[in-house]
Amino acid sequence: MKINNFLTIILIFLFYLSSPAKDANTITIIPKPNEMKIGKGNFVLNPSTKIIYSQGLDKHADFLRDYIKFSHNFNLLITDKITETNKNFIYLNVKDLNSDSEEYELDIQPSKIMISSESPKGVFYGIQTLRQLIHSGKKIQCLKIVDKPRFVYRGMHLDVSRHFMPKEFVKKYIDFLAMYKMNTFHWHLVDDQGWRLEIKKYPKLTEVGAWRVDRGDKTWREREPQKPGEVPTYGGFYTQEEVKDIVKYAADRYITIIPEIEMPGHCLAALTAYPEYSCTGGPFTVPPGTYWPPLEAFCAGNDKTFEFLEDILTETMELFPSKYIHIGGDEVVKTRWKECPKCQERMKKENLKDENELQSYFVKRIEKFLVSKGRKLIGWDEILEGGLAPEATVMSWRGTIGGIEAAKAGHDVIMTPTSYCYFDYYQGNLELEPIAIGGYLPLTKVYQFEPIPEELSNEEAKHILGAQGNVWAEFIPTTTHAEYMVFPRIAAMAEVVWTNKNLKDLKDFMSRLAHHTKLLDDLKINYAKSMYDVKITSILDTIKKQVKVEMSTEALNPDIRYTLDGTEPTKKSPKYKEPFILKKSAKIHAINFYDKNKKSKESTTEIVLHKGIASIVTNINYDKKRYIAKGLYNIVDGVRGSLNQNDGKWQGVQGNDFFATIDLGEVKNIKKVSIGFLQNYHFSIFLPRDLEVLTSLDGKEFKSVGKVQNTIPIDEKKIFVKDLSCDINDKARFIQIKASNIGVNPDTHPDKGFKSWLMFDEIIIE
């Protein structure tokens, strides 16, 4: 008996000795390393731990010491001396100071940690990995990592034209990129709303072009242009000395800054300062918001325009050593070129058949200049129009089609489609998020992005250099708001561009991110908690004519509590366990109590059960490309829309009237018919002029049973939902709805004359 007990103890001891303390799934590094093996035991970090570095890595040692001081308040000794007696140390080792390799090895043993690479850059990336492990605790799991990135281009973009961001924040932003092993910062320095880069030869670019009137009390699209006598006070710019400092700061973190100097469009700030390079001669003012279409562009028929731009690019290249110079090239409205005698003469002289080819001429001429200076041109995918410049690289943003076209033609491509990479889009429940430009890009969708399209062969796929996340700042006025839009989506993008495709796993990523947020908390980063918010989804059963309610979160292991009477849920409210059938109309409220002392924002939705639920919809007029919501059944699914037209609950028609026919399946007594419409003046969404309801017993002969006029002024600027109703008191099987669109925006609208939207959510039949 004693022998058996002794053997049991030995076996248990041997089992624990042979089993690692953790498995790979408990290591919460972002981006996920491409090769990792868990070892036995732990390295214990303490105040006596030394940081030893090989020649040329003194800055790396300083970085690591600062990280550890921040995490654990240990001010470790750093030295370039290593002896055989050294124990309890972290060793940074580089093999070739001139190498550009991005691969590194991280070997954590009980007595030491070794970070090795062919290059200083690789050692720096190894430090970023160790940094995350150290922040999790003083006891660091023994393991070995051999890691390198999937893509050579791993980028983030920041727009500082719409809202100037101070130098200190730009440096902080660069630190964000470094933490996730990103290597490119695309700096959008100029646009219509502001010129941010000092150019000594043209001082008015910053004296005039960097400033606009302050309209911060109004939303971006309702801001009136500068009036006579108003003094522009809102803006800012970076001096050349500040830029040099930022460029060096980035280089110390192995990040290349690509400056963007927009041309030939998006240049109104420059033309305000120097109107002689426009087609009309001005005068202009720097716009405080966006007005569509952006008509002004650099005059392509004036040789002095190119001298002006070449001078600007020359000073830009003196500041930025990057291989690439970004020239924009997007959203060029050709109206001025069509009306400009110089541009038309240029087209005739160069034998250009249209203004698209004139844009191609413009881009090719600028590219020739950049190539002569040893640089490469990169631009948005519109530079494909009219023919791509010979050595240009394309940044594909309007989906992936432009990137596919460029790659097939042998051009390098950076993938940054709006649907996966635009971080100015909403990332959670639209009614819970700060106002954004539109769109919907949750964290999980960013993670699912695959930069290499299936349409490309293996050879063509080599031209996909990588991807980047874009942060356009029209609706991002502050640095804390910028952080909110970037985090945690930057973590997902980092894994997209670093980690091998076959190692990516969404559930695993979300699990690691749950631990990673502790680091974000300690860094005092204002990251979005949208992943914890509850998404309430309705599922329409068209056979049983029922509505099923489903609740979910992006984060794992939620504790969702809900109510159906419009009251705020508490921890004592019913716990959501599985989808359920709604028995009566409800105002659903839900909260995720995801941590001991934390809870999500309160999600709400209203579902109205009425006689038309799941009825057949025919003869409907709605936009089948943009505001399609859930398709034909959207107006009979019981779900009401919010104040945001992009919430997936609204359908719309532009410029035309709305009409639809509802088949109830049988004759029913109808008392009232209502339909909800949205008014959002600044997005060209208006209530209808009137609503008419017609009924029929057979679907052939219809009679008008009610008509109501809209009495709210067309220029009402508040955003609201309005139900227009008709009392019926009739029997009918078929109900026809007609609502008349105002047609075009009123003359008081910034986009006057453009087709207006009519948007509707639900036809409620009582």
Which residues, in sequence order, are CB contacts of 411 under 8 Å at separation 6+? Answer: 388, 392, 393, 394, 463
Q: Are 697 and 731 in contact (CB under 8 A)?
A: yes
Q: Are 196 and 159 in contact (CB under 8 A)?
A: no
Looking at residue 205, its amino acid is L
Task: Exactly one of 102, 105, 107, 191 is catalytic; name it.
Answer: 191
State CA 682 to chain mean position distance. 22
Q: Tell me the β-bridge partners of 156.
A: 185, 469
Residue among 605, 657, 650 at smallest CA distance from 628: 650
Residue among 63, 277, 107, 315 at smallest CA distance from 200: 315
Q: Tell me the β-bridge partners of 184.
A: 155, 256
Can you spell out the DSSP letters for 213-233?
Answer: ---TTS-GGGPPPPPTT----
How far apart are the C-alpha atoms of 688 and 714, rounded to whole Å? 9
Task: Read off φ and ψ for residue 353, nearest 5 degrees.
Answer: -80, -25
Task: Read off φ and ψ for residue 502, nearest 5 degrees.
Answer: -75, -10
State CA 230 to chain mean position distance. 35
State CA 547 to chain mean position distance. 32
| Token digits of residue 235 | 């803006």
Q: Are 756 and 741 in contact (CB under 8 A)?
A: yes
> Quick one: three-class SS letters along 428-467?
CCHHHCCCCCCCECCHHHHHCCCCCCCCCCHHHHCCEEEE
Task: Give the 3-state secondary structure of residue 119.
Answer: coil
State CA 116 to chain mean position distance. 35
Residue among 490, 485, 492, 521 at smallest CA distance from 508: 492
Instruction: Give the sign of the dihedral formed by CA 376, CA 380, CA 381, CA 382.
Output: negative
- The answer to whether 72 is a known catalytic residue is no
Task: Exactly one of 245, 331, 405, 663 is catalytic; name it.
Answer: 331
How far apart are the C-alpha atoms of 517 and 686, rounded to whole Å? 42
Looking at residue 415, its amino acid is M
Q: Tell me the β-bridge partners of 616.
A: 663
Task: Give the 3-state secondary structure of residue 762.
Answer: strand
Can you spell out the DSSP letters for 250-310?
Answer: HHTTT-EEEEEEEESSS-HHHHHH-GGGBSS-------SS--SS----B-TT-HHHHHHHH
Greatest Cα pair distance in the chain: 106
- The answer to whether 163 is a known catalytic residue is no
Q: Tell me the β-bridge partners of 551.
A: 536
Count Cβ neighbours within 10 Å for each residue of 262-285 and write b for 16 or more, e otherwise: bbbbbbbbbbbbbeebbbeebebb
Task: Exactly one of 157, 186, 188, 266 is catalytic; name it.
Answer: 266
Task: Give the 3-state secondary structure of residue 95.
Answer: coil
| Token digits of residue 721 | 């939902």
Instruction: Find the helix packing angle between 506-522 and 120-135, rounded to 10°.
Output: 80
Question: Strand 139-147 relative to strand 36-44: parallel, antiparallel, unpaired?
Answer: antiparallel
State CA 633 to chain mean position distance. 30
How far apart are the C-alpha atoms of 161 and 211, rounded to whole Å? 10
In 73-142, where does DSSP find H-type helix? 120-135
State CA 95 to chain mean position distance. 38
Q: Tell me the β-bridge partners of 426.
A: 440
Which residues, in sequence order, are CB contacts of 578 under 8 Å at separation 6+? Answer: none
* Strand ranges (E), 331-469: 376-380, 393-396, 413-415, 464-469
- The answer to whether 266 is a known catalytic residue is yes
Active site residues: 191, 266, 331
